[in-house]
């Protein structure tokens, strides 16, 4: 191997090693910023939802109701459903948290955040979402929403984290996915029957509020 090639490899390895310190710093910053936050409810959904969309209104209303019981609301900090949930949290006089990710588009922090953390790395951000959540509410969204949904289900299924409820809001939107999970994944033995219990399509926003208040009571988290 030539000296020039060896030099380039060494330079690359050094640069990659220093990246570990940036990753560690993001974990430290995330944990220290969130250490006084009681377990909250994380909202996921489309960043493209507009203010007059029903999904925006659902997220805002649900977050407002939960926040009125002093339940922290956690989102990805961006526009769309994230903005709606953070907005509802402030309207409900609760803590509004945004875990923002640096992206070339769609991800300027929304103006309804009380506690903001910005991340460079998706995987660090995911750890913070999981660590400080007692439930996920999944509203209609795209690839990113699906990623967060199945990441949570995988961690629960493999016992890497304690089980917590994953609510899907909007039966019409999620019904086809649930049918596919039953008719393909379950029918072909790719998942177990009990794994279906990890997914719950909520019939109403009120049902989610009631369930989460029950969980908070069991955890000893009072209003």
The tens digit of pLDDT for each residue in 37-47 reads 999 999 999 99
Confidence class for position 107, pLDDT limits 50, 70, 90? low
CA pair distance 80, 57, nearest whole angstrom: 10
Helix residue ranges, H only, the chain: 3-34, 54-67, 81-91, 122-131, 143-157, 171-180, 205-218
CA dihedral 55, 61, 62, 67 (to 10 degrees): 140
- Both ends of the chain: CA-CA distance in Å? 66
Q: Which residue has the higher pLDDT, 210 or 107?
A: 210
Nearest to 168 by CA among 158, 176, 160, 156: 176
Q: Which residue has the higher pLDDT, 103 or 124?
A: 124
Fold of 3-218: Rossmann fold (3.40.50)
The predicted structure's pLDDT at residue 9: 46
Are 97 and 123 in contact by the 8 Å Cβ rule? The answer is: no
Q: Which residue has the higher pLDDT, 125 or 9?
A: 125
């Amino acid at each position: 191997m030539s000296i020039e090639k060896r030099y380039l490899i060494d330079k690359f390895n050094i640069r990659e090693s220093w990246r570990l310190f940036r990753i560690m710093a993001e974990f430290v910053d995330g944990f220290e910023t969130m250490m006084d936050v009681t377990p909250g409810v994380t909202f996921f959904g489309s960043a493209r939802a507009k203010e007059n969309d029903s999904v925006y209104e659902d997220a805002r209303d649900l977050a407002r109701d939960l926040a009125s019981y002093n339940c922290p609301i956690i989102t990805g900090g961006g526009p769309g459903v994230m903005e709606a949930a953070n907005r509802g949290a402030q309207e409900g006089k609760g803590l509004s948290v945004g875990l923002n990710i640096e992206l070339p588009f769609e991800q300027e922090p929304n103006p309804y955040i009380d506690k903001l953390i910005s991340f460079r790395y998706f995987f660090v951000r995911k750890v913070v979402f999981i660590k400080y959540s007692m439930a996920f509410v999944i509203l209609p969204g795209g690839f990113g929403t699906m990623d967060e949904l199945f990441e949570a289900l995988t961690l629960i299924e493999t016992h890497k984290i304690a089980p917590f409820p994953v609510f899907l809001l909007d039966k019409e939107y999620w019904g086809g996915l649930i049918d596919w999970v039953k008719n393909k994944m379950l029918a072909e033995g790719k998942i177990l029957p009990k794994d279906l219990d990890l997914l719950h399509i909520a019939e109403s926003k009120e049902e989610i509020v009631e369930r989460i208040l029950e969980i908070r009571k069991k955890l000893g988290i009072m209003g």
